Amino acid sequence: MVSVGTMVWLTSELMFFAGLFAMFFTLRSSRPELWAERSGELDIFLATVITVVLVASSVTAQFGVFAAERHQPRRTGGLLSVARWGMVEWYILSFIMGAIFIAGQTYEFAVLVTHGVTISADAFGSAFYITTGFHGLHVVAGLVAFLFVIARAYFSVKFTHKEASAAVVVSYYWHFVDVVWIALFGVVYILPGLI
């Protein structure tokens, strides 16, 4: 039931992001010359690097799910013995990678602001910060969820199906956030260079 409820909730989140994409495309179609000019301000290299990091964090999160499904909350070998990591180690790595993504996104926001691209400057700034900013807030929520699941694994007397289910649900959310970013990356960073 938890998985089904999570899927229903993620569907509502998908509708939220569909609305943001619709806003982005509507504003873009009304001012194509502004989009052509402002898109050149974006740091495509940085965005590509943080995208790779975020996508890789989905892989590490899935390894955490595999460990949770084996009811292995923590590593059974040395720290460098990655093959014996448990859910906690994989989720800590996913958390670090997600934090790197947020740090990269925050850095890009700061650089854009110094170039005059602000949320109130024009339609591009509004669309850019609203779409990527809301996604960033969702990533932060995912990071908090990782911390919750990690803490739950540490403080539970026995790692049961409930703890494993919580880990799986958090991975669903994290994969969703990653897929949304891939779509945003394509629309915001790649599409302007193709058109």
The per-residue pLDDT for range 99-140, each reduced to its tens digit, is 999 999 999 999 999 998 898 888 888 989 999 999 999 999
pTM, full prediction: 0.88
In whole numbers, what is the pLDDT of the chain averaged over residues?
A: 89
Q: Flag the least confident range among 7-11, 15-19, 23-27, 107-111.
A: 7-11
Instruction: Please give the residue that has the higher pLDDT: either 23 or 75.
Output: 23
Whether the Cβ atoms of residue 188 and residue 42 lie closer than 8 Å to each other: yes
Rounded CA-CA distance 146/171 in Å is: 9
| Residues 42-61, mean pLDDT to the nearest whole number | 96
Non-local CB neighbours of 21 within 8 Å, separated by 6+ positions: 131, 183, 187
pLDDT at 2 over 80: no
**Among residues 141, 150, 128, which one has the least CA distance to residue 173?**
141
Kindly indicate the confidence band of residue 155, based on its pLDDT and cuts at 50, 70 and 90. Answer: confident
**pLDDT tens-digit series, residues 166-191:** 889 999 999 999 999 999 999 999 88
pLDDT of 103 reads: 97
